[in-house]
Chains A and B, each alone.
Chain A
């Protein structure tokens, strides 16, 4: 149980392109989803928290117009990197959790984004 599917797993695109990443909870209702960015050999950096049906909450320093997050249903959240540039190249990971204080986050397998 508690499977999170993230798609695509790998994206290579030209500078200026917008890229959408999907995060789905397959067997549970994700009241909250999180989007992270991870640089090589580093820990996860939280970008934003999204709750179903409401606007995402962004961490300090993360541009909300650059990284658009939509959490339209209890099983789907999307991250769109708008007008991507080479400095946006990174490993992006989503996670999801259901309601309850002791519920862990369950993670997708990540998306490797490479902007040429």
Chain B
């Protein structure tokens, strides 16, 4: 079965500093990995995905993620965090046993960026 783990419930970072949100995955076969962001009382916004190809994936709002097969990780990064990046971030993996594109979500990581 596919699964993802987000080991940190919360990440605190000062504005302008680099931001990293960790995600590790467990899959049988090649992973399809996604990052989403959720602002309060809103749905999830798609940030980026890794399917195949370059290990460094660039996404929306200046975010990028690095796929590392040996460490089974897909950490989300941003070189310089903004206060407006404060939100709940979810890592997800495609359930390859499901033909309709079902996702397995991590527990989420709350990012708090302080001025």
Dominant secondary structure of chain A at its interface with chain B: strand
Question: CB within 8 Å of B: which of A69-89?
Answer: none
**Of B32, B43, B103, which one neighbours A101 at CB under 8 angstroms?**
B32
Q: How many residues of B contact A (CB 8 A)?
A: 23
* Complex interface: stretch among B12-20, B44-52, B76-84: B44-52
**Of A6, A94, A104, which one neighbours B49 at CB under 8 angstroms?**
A104
In the complex, are the beta carbons of B43 and A103 less than 8 A apart?
no
Interfacial residues, chain B to chain A (CB-CB below 8 A):
32, 34, 36, 41-46, 49, 51, 90, 94, 98, 100-103, 105-108, 110
Q: Mind listing 15 A-B residue pairs with CB under 8 Å?
A: A6-B43, A32-B101, A43-B90, A43-B106, A43-B108, A46-B102, A49-B102, A95-B44, A101-B51, A101-B101, A104-B34, A104-B49, A106-B46, A107-B36, A107-B44
